[in-house]
């Protein structure tokens, strides 16, 4: 299959916080989009198509909000559509945008993902009564806590791993001016002493609820070459993959899901990665609850079964480690759900462009962005590199 | 916060920063054939699952199809009202809309004879004593209060049997978990059953 | 009510305009502009339900004249009940395949020769509601005018919208519009557009049509529109 070479040539994000009361939903997405356009040295008129992503409409109470946001995003007369794959949507949306360019349909696509959780009550929206079943659901934490417990048992992981991840990500977040949480006083003990919300998940091991948006401009080879010639380094997209699996399958492994591994294997194959632990310089993965770092390290082929937590414990995943994970502070610092996946993809691109500021990994040439969503049933990944494929 | 500037005539009027739009809708869900049969069983205090073939997985509650085989599940199977806890969570958090009294323990319970865990409440045991492998039994509402909903089972409680140390955790049947890389090699679709032929499902 | 939540959440949705009233604003604009009459609307309503008599999957099919439709009271003036779609449960699925795979599966694949979609502002005041600029643009990109159009399946939930779409697509008298009955015969809203593509594909695959256009819409008063050109291969 002939695919055009494509690259990220513009990245923008909002300052994320619990309540962005200063902007409407339209203002929020426009803030991120404008920054991405500025970064790409483009105007709205340069954009051929717009792809919008967000998580469930219940979060803000606007059905299909892409319709009303199309005005703010300069979509008039252009193709615009919306992607929805729950929490992984930010990643899936970027992939759809990239594929529109890879397929040669468009030259420059703007893709935007957002969530304005403060407009309503996301935990309630995620725990709507399911017909004919007991009202036991307690948000995403209540759903994922049993999976985390299974992992701890299966991997024989010590209790402090989750706290180490939380500490690392929150400290990384201090270096990221856009991050929602800037917890300067956080310590291992403050995490340990925080309330056990969904045993075994503590409050401090849980992502916040954020307002925020992220935007990318994706261009074809000539657009990216022009950017490079102009001194604006592109992040070349070396592979994209999505996989899904049914939530209610007897065979399903909720701890280390098959679809996640298949997604990783596919994206590595496209990018020519044969040994992810060796070939990848840094990873932004979707870790809304701290324990998902070791779980995904195993699921994405960075560690053997039961060994993921050892990478965390030995500091391999620290910002100055051998395989830095969640340099931006990750979902644990910033979680505008619909945008969270795209923020992972954007951070990977920033790393290989060398524009990650204080959370830059020295010499990062190959980076992985990862997102998952729903009941661990949707996976989206991309590999970006500093060199043209 | 951006300063909102009002015209002179509106001086003294509090600036509008948000609008509140309550919305309410009632839904009536159609249960469909498989769930209807399941719920009818519940009204008789029986737990009915379905399977595609005499040897394929038993799904409880049934959805009418086996997602691995991509096949309809016409065969009804009554499963036991006892089972094993495969994992659980102790919820200490109250939130808007929640009707549960905290703390409560929600558990994934693999009923004897079923191949998919159901989520339900565990009671009659302190939360910190619940464990994976614990044997439990269903406790029903009073007969007069039985309705076609899983809530007709009030909760599950320990049934006194010793723990099952070998409880089958879905997906772990493949040794290390379905999505694990072993020796640096990714799993492939071959380890799940082929939806057309039923082949595959190899154990590594 | 859910469709009301689709409108601008700050200035429009709190007024709770319902979807029929929003469509009626557009119908009124058609009348005021002199582009159509209520009799024209009734003609569309009558023909669509009559066509649906031949569609076993249609929800609403009957044989009543335009005059009979005109004798109905207004639901939301100037729209009558027959100018509006039924409320429908439904689903649709379409299988896509490329090249030789398509040829190996069916004798006469319905080839997608062009497909494009465009969006307009959601605010009704920013648009001329009597035309569909996004449909015209999408039709141009999809190459509708590159050949004769035997059949058009248009996602026009309200009768007046068929007139707007036919003009935007540049359809002439030789084109048969909505032989399935269209969205006026069954409107499972967000799947009704895919149904249009499926209905047209069926007619192309059977050889009944050589080339045709399918259309889908979303948003208030035809805000967003997709145009798909399907063509069969000559034997």
In a mutational test of the B interface, the residue from C10, C90, C91 whose CB has the highest number of chain B CBs within 10 Å is: C10
CA A367 to chain centre: 13
Q: Does the pLDDT value for residue C231 go beyond 50?
A: yes
Residue C34's pLDDT band (boundaries 50, 70, 90)? Answer: very high
Q: What is the pLDDT of residue B204?
A: 42
Find out whether B185 and B162 touch, Cβ atoms under 8 Å.
no
Helix (H, G, I), strand (E, B) or coil at A164: helix
Residue of C nearest to A61 (CA): C5
Residue A163 domain-assigned? no
List the one residue out of B168, B184, B178, B167 whose CA is nearest residue B203. B178
- Is A355 within a domain? no
Q: Higher-confidence residue: B156 or B187?
A: B156
Instruction: Show the tokens assigned to C6.
Output: 């689709």
Give the C-alpha separation, B51 to B65, whole Å: 8
Residue B130 and residue B145 share a domain? yes
Q: Which residues of A touch C119 (CB under 8 A)?
A: 67, 70, 75-80
Chain B residue nearest residue A58, CA to CA: B23
Question: B37-46: long-range contacts (C-beta < 8 A, 24 or more apart)?
Answer: B37/B62, B37/B76, B38/B62, B39/A132, B39/B148, B39/B149, B40/B148, B41/B78, B42/B146, B42/B148, B42/B149, B42/B150, B42/B152, B42/B153, B43/B146, B43/B147, B43/B148, B43/B152, B45/B140, B45/B143, B45/B146, B45/B152, B46/B78
Average confidence (pLDDT) over C183-204:
96
Give A 42-61 residues with CB within 8 A of chain C: 57, 60-61
- Residue B202 pLDDT greater than 60, yes or no: no
Q: Same domain, yes or no, for B154 and B88?
A: yes
**Do B37 and B73 lie in a common domain?**
yes
Q: For residue A331, with 0-12 CB atoms within 10 Å meaning exposed, 13-18 middle and 19 or more buried, which class applies?
A: buried
Nearest CA in chain C to B19: C10
Give pLDDT, residue A120: 81
Percent of chain C with pLDDT over 70: 99
- Interchain CB contact of C218 with A (< 8 Å): yes
What average pLDDT does the structure give for chain C?
96
Q: For residues B36 and B101, state if they share a domain.
A: no
When CB atoms are compared, the residue of C1, C9, C14 closest to B25 is C1
Q: Please report the pLDDT score of residue A1 as a whole number.
A: 43
3-state helix, strand, coil in chain A (%, to 5): 40, 20, 40
B103, B91: one domain: yes
Element spanning C73, H or E: none
Please check whether residues B119 and B90 belong to one and the same domain. yes
Query: Contacts of residue B85 in chain A, CB cutoff 8 Å?
Result: none
Instruction: Set out the domains of chain C in order of their start, with CATH numbers.
Output: 4-231 (3.40.47.10)
Give the model confidence (pLDDT) of A109-125 as tens digits: 999 999 999 988 776 66
Say what the pLDDT of residue C1 is: 74
Residue B204, domain member (yes or no): yes
Closest CA to C227 of C162, C97, C136: C136
Q: How many domains does chain A contain in total? A: 1
- B108 and B160 share one domain: yes
**Cα separation of A31 and A36, whole Å?**
9
Q: Is the pLDDT of residue B2 over 60?
A: no
What domain count does chain B have?
3
Residue among C2, C122, C133 whose CB faces A70 most closely: C122
Which chain C residue shows the shortest CA-CA distance from A73?
C121
* Residue positions counted in chain B: 204
Q: What is the pLDDT of residues A168-217, one digit of tens each?
A: 999 999 999 999 999 999 999 999 999 999 999 999 999 999 999 999 99
A93: in domain = yes
Higher-pLDDT residue of B7, A110? A110
pLDDT digits (tens, 9 = 90+) for A314-335: 999 999 999 999 999 999 999 9
Structural domain includes residue A52: yes
ipTM reported for the complex, 2 dp? 0.95
CATH number of the domain that A58 lies in?
3.40.47.10
| A259 contacts B95? CB cut-off 8 A | no
> Does B154 reside within a domain?
yes
**Which of A242-256, B13-27, B30-44 comes out lowest in average pLDDT?**
B13-27
Which residue has tokens 């893709």? Answer: A111
CA atoms within 13 A on the CB side of C84: 20
Mean pLDDT of B103-129: 92
Q: Give mean pLDDT, residues B1-16.
A: 73
**Do B137 and B86 share a domain, yes or no?**
yes
Do B118 and B148 share a domain, yes or no? yes
Closest approach of chain B CAs to the CA of C126, in angstroms? 23
* Interchain CB contact of C3 with B (< 8 Å): no
Q: Is the pLDDT of residue B98 over 80?
A: no
Contacts of B106 in chain A (CB under 8 A): 136, 138, 142, 146
- Closest partner residue to B132 (CB to CB) among A22, A138, A153 is A153
Per-residue pLDDT in tens (0 to 9) along chain A, 389 residues: 457 899 999 999 999 999 999 999 999 999 999 999 999 999 999 999 999 999 989 888 899 999 999 999 999 999 999 999 999 999 999 999 999 999 999 999 999 999 999 988 776 666 666 666 666 667 788 889 999 999 999 999 999 999 999 999 999 999 999 999 999 999 999 999 999 999 999 999 999 999 999 999 999 999 999 999 999 999 999 999 999 998 888 878 889 999 999 999 999 999 999 999 999 999 999 999 999 999 999 999 999 999 999 999 999 999 999 999 999 999 999 999 999 999 999 999 999 999 999 999 999 999 999 999 988 999 999 999 999 99
Q: Is the CB of B92 inside 8 Å of chain C's CB atoms?
A: no
A114: containing domain:
6-120+209-229
For residue B125, give its domain range: 80-168
Chain A, chain C: beta-carbon pairs less than 8 Å apart: 61
* pLDDT of B94 above 90: no
Tell me: do B105 and B128 sit in the same domain: yes
Which domain CATH number covers B120?
A: 2.40.50
B182 touches chain A (CB under 8 A): yes
C10 interfacial to chain B (CB closer than 8 Å): yes
Assess whether B88 and B163 both reside in one domain.
yes
pLDDT at site B14? 79
Residue A31 lies in a domain: yes
Instruction: Say how many CA atoms lie within 13 Å of A44 toward its Cβ.
Output: 14
CA distances from residue C30 to C37, C69, C129, C132, C179 in whole angstroms, order as listed: 8, 18, 8, 12, 24
Count CA atoms within 13 Å of residue B107 on its CB side: 30
Q: Which residue has the higher pLDDT, B66 or C45?
A: C45
**Are B40 and B85 within one domain?**
no
A68–C6 CB contact, under 8 Å? yes
The nearest CA of chain B is from the CA of A232 a distance in Å of 32
């Amino acid at each position: 299959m002939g695919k055009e070479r494509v690259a990220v040539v513009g990245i923008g994000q909002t300052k994320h916080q619990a309540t962005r009361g200063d902007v409407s939903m339209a203002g929020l997405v426009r803030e991120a989009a404008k920054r991405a356009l500025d970064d790409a040295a483009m105007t709205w008129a340069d954009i051929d198509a717009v792809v919008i992503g967000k998580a469930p409409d219940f979060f803000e109470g606007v059905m299909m909000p892409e319709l009303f946001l199309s005005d703010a995003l300069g979509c008039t007369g252009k193709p615009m559509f919306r992607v929805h794959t729950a929490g992984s949507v930010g990643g899936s949306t970027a992939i759809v945008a990239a594929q529109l360019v890879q397929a040669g349909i468009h030259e420059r696509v703007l893709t935007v993902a957002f969530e304005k959780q403060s407009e309503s009550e996301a935990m309630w929206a995620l725990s709507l009564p399911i017909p004919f079943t007991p009202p036991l659901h307690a948000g995403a934490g209540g759903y994922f806590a049993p999976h985390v417990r299974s992992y701890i048992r299966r991997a024989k992981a010590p209790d402090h791993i989750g706290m180490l991840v939380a500490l690392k990500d929150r400290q990384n977040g201090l270096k990221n001016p856009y991050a929602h949480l800037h917890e300067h006083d956080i310590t291992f003990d403050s995490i340990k002493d925080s309330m056990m919300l969904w045993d075994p998940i503590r409050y401090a091991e849980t992502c916040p609820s954020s307002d925020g948006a992220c935007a990318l401009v994706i261009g074809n080879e000539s657009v990216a070459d022009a950017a490079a010639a102009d001194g604006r380094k592109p992040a070349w997209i070396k592979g994209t993959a999505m996989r899904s699996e049914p939530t209610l399958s007897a065979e399903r492994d909720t701890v280390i899901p098959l679809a996640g591994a298949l997604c990783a294997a596919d994206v590595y194959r496209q990018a020519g990665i044969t040994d992810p632990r060796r070939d990848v310089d840094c990873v932004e993965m979707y870790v809304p609850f701290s324990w998902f770092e070791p779980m995904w390290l195993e699921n994405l082929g960075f560690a053997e079964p039961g060994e993921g937590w050892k990478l965390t414990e030995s500091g391999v995943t620290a910002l100055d480690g051998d395989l830095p994970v969640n340099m931006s502070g990750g979902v644990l610092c910033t979680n505008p759900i619909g945008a969270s996946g795209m923020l992972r993809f954007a951070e990977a691109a920033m790393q290989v462009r060398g524009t990650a500021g204080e959370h830059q990994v020295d010499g990062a040439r190959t980076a992985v962005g990862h997102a998952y969503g729903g009941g661990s049933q949707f996976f989206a990944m991309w590999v970006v590199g500093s060199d043209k494929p | 916060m951006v300063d909102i500037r009002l015209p002179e005539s509106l001086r003294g009027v509090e600036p509008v920063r948000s609008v509140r739009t309550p919305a309410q809708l009632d839904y009536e869900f159609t249960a469909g054939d498989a769930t209807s049969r399941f719920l009818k069983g519940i009204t008789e205090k029986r737990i009915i699952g379905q399977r595609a073939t005499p040897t394929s997985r038993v799904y409880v509650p049934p959805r009418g199809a086996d997602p691995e085989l991509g096949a309809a599940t016409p065969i009804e199977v009554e499963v036991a009202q006892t089972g094993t806890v495969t994992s659980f969570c102790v919820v200490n958090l109250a939130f808007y809309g929640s009707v549960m009294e905290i703390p409560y323990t929600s558990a994934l319970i693999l009923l004897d004879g079923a191949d998919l865990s159901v989520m339900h409440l565990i009671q009659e045991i302190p939360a910190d004593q619940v464990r994976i492998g614990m044997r439990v039994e269903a406790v029903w509402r009073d007969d007069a209060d039985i309705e076609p909903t899983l809530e007709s089972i009030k909760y599950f409680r320990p049934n006194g049997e010793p723990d099952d140390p070998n409880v089958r955790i879905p997906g772990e049947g493949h040794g290390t978990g379905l999505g694990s890389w072993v020796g640096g090699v990714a799993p492939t679709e071959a380890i799940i059953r082929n939806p057309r032929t039923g082949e595959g499902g190899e154990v590594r | 009510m859910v469709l009301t939540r689709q409108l601008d959440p700050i200035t429009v949705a709190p007024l709770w305009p319902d979807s029929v009233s929003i469509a009626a604003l557009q119908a009124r604009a058609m009348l005021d502009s002199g582009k159509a009459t209520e009799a024209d609307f009734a003609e569309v309503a009558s023909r669509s339900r009559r066509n649906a008599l031949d569609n076993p999957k249609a929800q609403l099919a009957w044989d009543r004249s335009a005059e009979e439709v005109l004798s109905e009271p207004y639901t939301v003036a100037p729209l009558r009940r027959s100018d509006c779609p039924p409320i429908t449960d439904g689903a649709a699925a379409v299988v896509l395949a490329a090249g030789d795979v398509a040829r190996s599966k069916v004798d006469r694949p319905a080839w997608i020769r062009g497909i494009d979609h465009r969006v307009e502002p959601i605010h009704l005041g920013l648009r001329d509601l009597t035309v569909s600029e996004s449909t015209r643009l999408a039709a141009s990109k999809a190459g509708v005018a590159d050949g004769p159009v035997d059949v058009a399946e248009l996602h026009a939930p309200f009768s007046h919208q068929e007139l707007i779409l036919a003009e935007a697509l540049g359809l002439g008298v030789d084109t048969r519009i909505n032989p399935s009955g269209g969205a006026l015969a069954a409107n499972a809203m967000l799947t009704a557009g895919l149904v249009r593509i499926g209905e047209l594909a069926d007619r192309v695959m059977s050889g009944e049509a050589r080339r045709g256009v399918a259309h889908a819409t979303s948003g208030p008063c035809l805000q967003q529109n997709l145009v798909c050109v399907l063509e069969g291969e000559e034997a």
